[in-house]
């Protein structure tokens, strides 16, 4: 028989307030309380919760609660939900016992929370504690627990806000209630004490970020360990923890083009939304391609062995490669020229004009190389209005898809 059936069975035989057997109710409540104590001593938590729920939903427990409310004569404001019916006629009292939940009748469910109040100094200290001592991922969370608890927010709601479990919220709350500000500090861990202090780590990081090594241009693990009088393993762990890579460097170049935003929107707009009845080509040149040839014929690949080539080669000069990438289809139009001048670029444009149907407009995305802006190139483009050149911003040739 579940809890609801027990509650209904206890109330089925009693229809009026005057028919309640108070001694029997007290005996039933005493037996349930004894069973709760015994189960808690045996460590059976699930049974304790079931007995507590049975006690709060039973007819005897609710009847005694309504009787206590009646005897208090309105001096307990926490029972404001049921005092209007508890101090009226007997039929309303019976309705309150059967239909009102246990919390509305003032029956304690679970352990009572200890009051938590912050003084003015503690409010300031708690507000500054986490921002100064905790990592970024943990910053502000214990502080929020204390502030929300003072405001009366339940532990379950605090846990849902921070994505914490209820025991974690209760632990931080209990630590602050017992130890105040000192309870927010982490407890000592078991094992060997740390050999590297926080001050040594701070000095290592500051020296690595702000100073140059005594020898060389970049810090190494062994050089930093020798300079800071630490083991190389400790320095390596600190570098890994803070994602420091002093031996590496990354090149960059910021564009100085005053129309950088406008040009980026123009080029990216052609990629994402090309115009109708038009062909978008990403054009560029690759100069100084070596034309190499092996000194002996290449041995073909066979079963059990790979292709064989000689280790030396013969240089046959260099050749520039002109390429135009069709953004929509991915096809490439290529041409190799002996030199890299405006004459060769103009010849490549003429080849594009021959390959593209006359009814299509041609949008060419090029960089700011001088051959693209030569006077003869501009004159040739002016005589063909269906050709449109779109220049990438300065130092931003990475926008040209043919280079990706």
Residue 114 included in any domain: no
Residue % of the chain over a pLDDT of 70 = 69
180 plus 206 within the same structural domain: no
Residue 107 included in any domain: no
DSSP conformation letters of 20-37: --HHHHHHHHHHHHHHHH
Which pLDDT tens digit goes with each residue over 138-175? 444 454 555 555 555 667 777 777 777 877 777 777 77
Residue 255 included in any domain: no
22 plus 147 within the same structural domain: no
279 plus 321 within the same structural domain: yes
User: φ and ψ at 86, to 5 degrees?
Assistant: -70, -25
CA 136 to chain centre: 12
Alpha-carbon gap, residue 397 to 155, rounded angstroms: 56
pLDDT at residue 251 in the model: 87
pLDDT at residue 363 in the model: 94
Under 8 Å CB-to-CB from 346, ≥6 apart: which residues?
A: 374, 376, 377, 380
Residue 316 included in any domain: yes
178 plus 273 within the same structural domain: no
Residue 191 included in any domain: no
Q: How many domains does the chain have?
A: 4
132 plus 221 within the same structural domain: no
- Name the pTM for this structure: 0.48
Reported as a pLDDT band with limits 50, 70 and 90, residue 63 is low
8 Å CB contact between 320 and 289: yes
Which pLDDT tens digit goes with each residue over 308-348? 999 999 988 888 999 999 988 889 999 988 888 999 999 99
95 plus 30 within the same structural domain: yes
The rounded radius of gyration (Å) of the Cα atoms in the chain is: 41
Higher pLDDT pick, 176 / 146:
176
281 plus 341 within the same structural domain: yes
Higher pLDDT pick, 292 / 159:
292
Residue 395 included in any domain: yes
CATH number, domain of 318, equals 3.30.420.10
266 plus 386 within the same structural domain: yes
Residue 176 included in any domain: yes
48 plus 133 within the same structural domain: no
71 plus 150 within the same structural domain: no
Residue 23 included in any domain: yes
351 plus 286 within the same structural domain: yes
Note down the domain range covering 268: 260-300+308-403
363 plus 278 within the same structural domain: yes
Number of H helices, E strands in the chain: 16, 5
Higher pLDDT pick, 155 / 239:
239
Higher pLDDT pick, 178 / 283:
283
Q: Quick one: average pLDDT of 108-125?
A: 64
Is residue 129 predicted with pLDDT exceeding 80?
A: no
């Amino acid at each position: 028989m579940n809890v609801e059936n027990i509650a209904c069975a206890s109330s089925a035989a009693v229809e009026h307030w005057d028919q309640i057997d108070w001694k029997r109710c007290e005996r039933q409540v005493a037996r349930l309380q004894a069973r709760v104590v015994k189960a808690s001593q045996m460590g059976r938590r699930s049974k304790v919760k079931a007995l507590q729920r049975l006690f709060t939903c039973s007819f005897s427990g609710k009847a005694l609660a309504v009787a206590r409310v009646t005897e208090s004569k309105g001096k307990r404001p926490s029972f404001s939900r049921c005092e209007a019916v508890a101090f009226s006629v007997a039929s309303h009292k019976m309705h309150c016992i059967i239909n009102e939940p246990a919390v509305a009748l003032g029956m304690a469910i679970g352990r009572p929370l200890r009051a938590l109040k912050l003084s003015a100094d503690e409010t300031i200290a708690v507000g500054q504690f986490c921002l100064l001592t905790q990592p970024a991922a943990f910053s502000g969370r214990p502080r929020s627990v204390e502030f929300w608890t003072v405001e009366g927010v339940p532990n379950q709601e605090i846990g849902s806000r921070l994505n914490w479990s209820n025991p974690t919220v209760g632990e931080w709350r209990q630590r602050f209630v017992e130890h105040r500000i000192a309870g927010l500090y982490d407890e000592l861990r078991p094992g060997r004490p740390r050999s590297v202090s926080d001050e040594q780590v701070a000095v290592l990081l500051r020296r690595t970020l702000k100073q140059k090594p005594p020898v060389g241009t970049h810090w190494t693990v062994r050089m930093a360990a020798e300079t800071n009088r630490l083991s190389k393993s400790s320095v390596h762990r600190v570098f890994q923890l803070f994602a420091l890579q002093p031996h590496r460097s990354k090149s960059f170049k910021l564009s100085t083009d005053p129309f950088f935003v406008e040009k980026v929107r123009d080029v990216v707009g052609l990629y994402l939304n090309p115009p109708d009845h038009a062909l978008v080509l990403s054009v560029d040149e690759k100069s100084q391609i070596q034309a190499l040839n092996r000194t002996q014929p290449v041995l073909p690949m066979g079963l059990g062995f790979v292709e064989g080539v000689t280790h030396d080669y013969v240089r046959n000069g260099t050749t520039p490669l002109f390429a135009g990438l069709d953004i929509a289809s991915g096809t490439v139009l290529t041409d190799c020229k002996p030199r890299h001048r405006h004459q060769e670029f103009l010849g490549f444009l003429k080849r594009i004009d021959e390959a593209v149907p006359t009814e299509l407009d041609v949008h060419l995305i090029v960089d700011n190389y001088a051959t693209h802006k030569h006077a003869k190139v501009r004159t040739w483009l002016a005589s063909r209005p269906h050709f449109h050149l779109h220049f990438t911003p300065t130092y931003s040739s990475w926008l040209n898809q043919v280079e990706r």
